[in-house]
Structure 1
Amino acid sequence: MAFLNKKDMRGTNMSTHSKGPGDPSPLDADHVLGEEYEHAPVPLSARHSLFSMVTVWAGFPAIITGSMTGSILVLGMGFSRALAAMVIGNLIMFAYVGALGLSATRSGRNFALIASGVFGTKGYALASGLLSTLLLGWFAVQTGITGALIASTYEMNYVAMTIVAGLLYIAITFIGVRGLHLIGLVSVPLFFVLGLFVVVHSASTTTFDAIWNYAGNNGVATMSMGVGLTVVIALFIDAGTVTADFNRWARTGTHSLIATFSAFPVSNLVAMLVGGILTAALAVPDANPFGADNMFGYMNTLQIGWLSALAFLFLYINLGSVCSHCLYNAATGWSRILGSKMRLLAVVLGILGIVIAAGNVWAFFIQWLSLLGIVVPPIGMILLVEAYIFKSGGMADREWRSTPFISWAIGAAVGFLVEFYAPQLSTAISAGIVAGIAHFALSSLKDRRRAVDASV
Structure 2
Amino acid sequence: MDTALAEQHSALGEEYENQPVPLTARKSLFAVSAVWVGFPMIMTSAVFAGIVVYNLGFVMGMGAIVVGDLILMGYVGTLSYLAGRSGKNFALTAADTFGAKGFRIVSAFLSALVIGWFAFQTGMVGSTLNLSMGWSAPWITLLAGVLFVALTFVGIRAISWIGVVASVLFIPLGVVAVVLAAADHGIGSALSYGGGAGVSAFGFGVAVTMVFACFADSGTMTADFTRWARNGREGALAAFSAFPVAYLIAQLAGALVVALGAAAAPGTAGGDFLHVLVGAGGVLVPLAIVFVFVNLGSVCAHCLYNGAVGFGNITGKTMRQLTIVLGVVGTVAAVAGIWSYFATWLNILGVLVPPIGIVLILDQLVFARRRATAAIAWKPFAAWGIGAGGALLTHFYAPQLSDAVVAMVVGGLAFTALAYLPVRAVQPALVGENA
> TM-score normalised to the size of structure 2?
0.94
Distance 1:284 1:26 in 2: 48
1:275 to 239, 254, 258: 254
Q: CA distance change for structure 1 residues 32 and 387 in 2, over 3 Å: closer, same or farther? A: same
Distance 1:246 1:92 in 2: 19
1:315 alignment counterpart: 292
Distance 2:34 2:186 in 1: 34
1:37 alignment counterpart: 16
Residue identity opposite 2:276 in structure 1? Y
1:325 to 302, 324, 344: 302
Which aligned pairs between 1:49-88 and structure 2 lie closer than 5 A? 49-88=28-67
1:426 to 402, 406, 431: 402
CA contact 1:58–1:267 (8 Å) conserved in 2 = yes
Q: Is residue 2:169 matched to residue 1:200?
A: no
Which aligned pairs between 1:124-143 and structure 2 lie closer than 5 A? 124-143=103-122
Q: CA distance change for structure 1 residues 26 and 392 in 2, over 3 Å: closer, same or farther? A: farther
Q: CA distance change for structure 1 residues 280 and 404 in 2, over 3 Å: closer, same or farther? A: same
CA contact 2:262–2:276 (8 Å) conserved in 1 = no
2:279 to 301, 325, 343: 301
Query: What SS does structure 2 have at the residue aligned with 1:166?
Result: helix
Residue identity opposite 2:320 in structure 1? R
Displacement after TM superposition at 1:25 (Å): 7.5
Displacement after TM superposition at 1:152 (Å): 2.5
2:142 to 155, 163, 167: 163
CA contact 2:181–2:262 (8 Å) conserved in 1 = no
Question: How many correspondences in the alignment?
Answer: 428
2:347 alignment counterpart: 370
2:243 alignment counterpart: 264
Residue identity opposite 1:141 in structure 2? F
Instruction: Provide the alpha-carbon RMSD of the alignment.
Output: 2.2
Residue identity opposite 1:320 in structure 2? G
Residue identity opposite 2:54 in structure 1? L
Distance 1:141 1:319 in 2: 10
Which aligned pairs between 1:175-190 and structure 2 lie closer than 5 A? 175-190=154-169
> TM-score normalised to the size of structure 1?
0.90
Identical columns (%): 43
Distance 2:370 2:246 in 1: 31
Displacement after TM superposition at 1:328 (Å): 0.3
1:11 alignment counterpart: none
Distance 1:253 1:284 in 2: 41
Residue identity opposite 1:147 in structure 2? G
Residue identity opposite 2:342 in structure 1? F
Residue identity opposite 1:390 in structure 2? F
Displacement after TM superposition at 1:220 (Å): 5.8
Q: Deviations over 1:380-423 (max 9, x none)?
A: 010011111113699x7421111111111101100100001000
1:445 alignment counterpart: 421
Q: Is residue 2:91 matched to residue 1:91?
A: no
Q: CA distance change for structure 1 residues 285 and 358 in 2, over 3 Å: closer, same or farther? A: closer
Displacement after TM superposition at 1:236 (Å): 0.2
Query: What SS does structure 2 have at the residue aligned with 1:445?
Result: coil
Moved over 6 A (4+): 451-454
Which aligned pairs between 1:210-229 and structure 2 lie closer than 5 A? 210-217=189-196, 222-229=201-208
Displacement after TM superposition at 1:289 (Å): 4.8
Distance 1:149 1:62 in 2: 17
Displacement after TM superposition at 1:251 (Å): 0.7
Q: CA distance change for structure 1 residues 451 and 356 in 2, over 3 Å: closer, same or farther? A: same
Which aligned pairs between 1:101-140 and structure 2 lie closer than 5 A? 101-140=80-119
1:353 to 315, 330, 333: 330
